[in-house]
Structure 1
């Protein structure tokens, strides 16, 4: 059934979705705000070397422990788990503030901020796991996932800018006190959501075990490994930026912390634009050039940051860095979808996701070494040039990967006519297309019958169908681009209507698990089928 989906559809939900998204916006702000506050504190106390150590020490435990700790979201009611995770961020923000206020030793402050960073890493997986239960329709769920991603990009700019201004004006202790005050809001917003305990977990590996399984699956698949390498360098750049940005703003531009915050935050603006550019460019067959040239743009722009010697041109250049990196990531994930066996896709994406924090840690480790060797003004150049060279060196294997990828333009075009599916990232639509199948039926055939168990989702490619509910035929017909079958999947119940072919019919059929995985942002929808649908009240098949 057609609705009126929109990127803002989640805001119409009456199930607590708006509160959860508001909590996520505050959490996202704290993530980038508190991070830069500690980096600025470390730089002031011990220069780029200490700032790099602080970054690495915070990131590695978060990368290793975050996925395991986030498992509380699979053992407790999702609302309870989300409130507890947000509450832990608030408590550890207060602990970090107390360490700064007491002028504690460097080890104590970094230790407290490491606990905070690890707690922050726990929230995001639980947030996305809770969204399905809060959605009243697939359009709301897709909208919630999209809005969460927009918040990620927006706060990547806002958080560092505000942190820089407050640290410059009042010092890191006062700045962290603001984080404590703000961090109280998310757990309060997530109280009494009324979410049930999750369905039994499936056997899919995740986290570090999934990543190791993915590496084993990709052993000697040099084309896929080359693509993963190109995707990983984006995180190296991000990790190095915080240290290089602070050093460059202070030592070269002679600016206070507010200038450093603006410089670092500009990467987020470019990343937000780059995600849209990457999605647009990923609709075609030729993805290898988007992946490679996006990474080349990222590296070249990064190397050019110190050329200008002025804040605004440097910030614009860093925005181009973020644009190139985001476009590479979107196109690269889409290419992985097209070229990877779906049976190991979850593990392959576990590899890609596991490189994020570890790549950032590597960048934070490299930054002080580059500053020591080349100075704050020129340390950008070797890293940026290195990124561009790695991308160029991976061109041939990435093109080979593109040649073996399955491109299904007819299926993709039809799926994008479904409003809420059109709002999904390109790589999710690609997975749906790869796992779909065409079915042709004669006129008069019952496609699905009211009372039968729902297992599939249908999109009409050609022909028309009629809808009958409780023996009463609905007015009008569904035709090409229309869809049906979502209600039973989301409710985990029987079909609510009978659908009959009124002419020769060609439909694209999606398995229920694949459909749910796409709209929930998960990998396997079978384990969450029961969590969504009792709230979905649309009267459609």
Structure 2
């Protein structure tokens, strides 16, 4: 996924996350110096008011162009952190610093929802959306480590004012970069409220948590893990400055080492996609959230402590992946959004509670015993929950076949475990008899993406068959990403069973959030992702990698000015056109029937059936097209062993 705008978006996101973790590290150290363990706990607990105050901010991207929300959020955080820097330099007490830290945390809640709304607006193809989600997720993990290391380096080489000022500079650079991106694209996602239920009906989600025993157990374990995280992040500061004698730089090092454990967990978590039973991995993950802390408390030496923190970071991330997967396997699709929202709110509260418990445990038992207690608690609780986990596994196993089916869809290839689990949870199996039109060309009420489980279907354009689809293939994604009519009719050739995935579930899984946006029509050409674009076209889905590369090599690039007719209705032609940038208007018998954008195509009827062009296609802006002629397509299909659905007229 090489769209330059996505790389810019990821860079700015990395700056924000890096600045956030550097600021968190500096805050924890300054809080300890000003108020001891209690102040460290209060700093960790500031995300509880942030979660509540951030609910209205999360919807800003519905009313303001999301690129400008990103810019404004980064700028506001720059101002807040700069204010904290001035307070520290002025020798302020703890309370004003805590207030500024809470303001920063609240403001920061607007960033990720707005970013999620912007992702589809930058996408050239649906596959780009999934690729962007993976890129941003990996950027977050790497930037957390980098931010903590930056704080550690500055703590050992510069004064405390520099440590606080550095995150402000990172936020400022991110604000400038996001302003440039927003100005360049004029990105404005359409206002919508599809993702709002999880926040508006929080009490409804909470009621579900406590009326379904299986969901209650999953939510409880998620909260337990989050509370352990809050406990340790507060205790880590005390340990580094206390019995480990690592100094201020050691606090940052401890946080960075936990991030390394998270990085190691990512490929391991990917192996869980098709696992039918998750009780064993979850038990191991939650045990690793606790046992390393017990070992750290017993060892009391820097070397073993470093290893323990890496393993703890691995366990935390690993357990989170499995718990996220389980919640999508046990929650019914209609309840998914509200339930996930309630669980996320519970996790934030539990993490804040853990941070507040840390100083209490230290006061009652001492630092090293407090760390041992924090580690023993999750290990003991997961053993007590084994009976419930066996019941959960029995329910969850039924969704594995659906998960395996979705994993075969090329569009979902870049998704992580939790996103695939979200799709599987939201999918509904439906069976249709032969001869039914599942989607109809020109339909403007597109709400569903389809994945074929059994049977075959035919793709038809203007009544002409252009492709056949079978098990493991999906269709209907483009109309979900854009406010455009269905571009083709898909008719069942046999009795067919499909998994139907609603628009909200489809987009929230690809983007990684419940904030769903319609797509802006501004695009940029990206020849580097051309093969990936071609792979999404129904006509070319059966071609292997070598054949697709051959099509790209043999294709003809054509640059066209605005308002130029590319093909005319009634003319002869044997080329298929793929839009790389710009856009076109499709006119049939003098009426506009469609508008097409980058990643879409036209001309397959004439290419396959040797009939005159069925419509006139005119550019609406300066455009770049890839033209594929009939001979190139036939050669590629023959090389891949694909039957060409060619029916000559007459």
TM over 0.5: yes
Distance 1:279 1:41, change over 3 A: same
Structure 1 residue 446: Cα displacement: 5.6
For 1:202 and 1:448, the matched residues in 2 are separated by 22
Matches within 5 A, 1:357-372: 357-372=348-363
- Choose 211-220 or 83-92, whichever is displaced more: 211-220
Partner of 1:247: 238
Distance 1:462 1:114, change over 3 A: closer
Partner of 1:37: 26
Any gaps of 5 or more consecutive residues in structure 1? 1-8
Distance 1:402 1:131, change over 3 A: same
For 2:490 and 2:349, the matched residues in 1 are separated by 50
Q: Structure 1 residue 418 and structure 2 residue 409: aligned?
A: yes
**Could you list the per-position Cα deviations for residues 273-329 of structure 1 after superposition, in whole angstroms to 9, with x for gaps in the alignment?**
334423422522212333233112211122112333333331221221122222222
Partner of 1:173: 161
Distance 1:161 1:272, change over 3 A: same
Matches within 5 A, 1:22-421: 22-56=11-45, 58-191=46-179, 192=183, 193-202=185-194, 204-207=196-199, 209-405=200-396, 407-421=398-412
Structure label with greater radius of gyration: 2
Tell me, what secondary structure is at the counterpart of 1:281? Answer: coil
Distance 1:155 1:397, change over 3 A: same
For 2:459 and 2:198, the matched residues in 1 are separated by 41
Structure 1 residue 40: Cα displacement: 0.7
Tell me, what secondary structure is at the counterpart of 2:367? Answer: coil
Tell me, what secondary structure is at the counterpart of 2:288? Answer: helix
Alignment TM-score, normalising by the size of structure 2: 0.74
Alignment TM-score, normalising by the size of structure 1: 0.88
Aligned residues: 523
Distance 1:505 1:211, change over 3 A: closer
Any gaps of 5 or more consecutive residues in structure 2? 524-596, 603-650
- Choose 288-297 or 511-520, whichever is displaced more: 511-520
Larger strand percent? 2
Higher relative contact order (CA 8 A, sep 6+): 1
Query: How large is the Cα RMSD of the aligned pairs?
Result: 2.7
Tell me, what secondary structure is at the counterpart of 1:436? Answer: strand
Partner of 1:3: none
For 1:127 and 1:279, the matched residues in 2 are separated by 24
**Could you list the per-position Cα deviations for residues 156-186 of structure 1 after superposition, in whole angstroms to 9, with x for gaps in the alignment?**
3222222122123223211111112221111
Partner of 2:600: 539
For 2:94 and 2:73, the matched residues in 1 are separated by 26
Structure 1 residue 51: Cα displacement: 2.0
**Could you list the per-position Cα deviations for residues 130-149 of structure 1 after superposition, in whole angstroms to 9, with x for gaps in the alignment?**
22222222211112222222
For 2:239 and 2:34, the matched residues in 1 are separated by 16
For 1:381 and 1:522, the matched residues in 2 are separated by 35
For 1:288 and 1:215, the matched residues in 2 are separated by 24
Larger helix percent? 1
Structure 1 residue 340: Cα displacement: 1.4
Distance 1:286 1:254, change over 3 A: same
For 2:402 and 2:601, the matched residues in 1 are separated by 23
**Could you list the per-position Cα deviations for residues 66-122 of structure 1 after superposition, in whole angstroms to 9, with x for gaps in the alignment?**
222223222212222221111111111111111112222222222222222222233
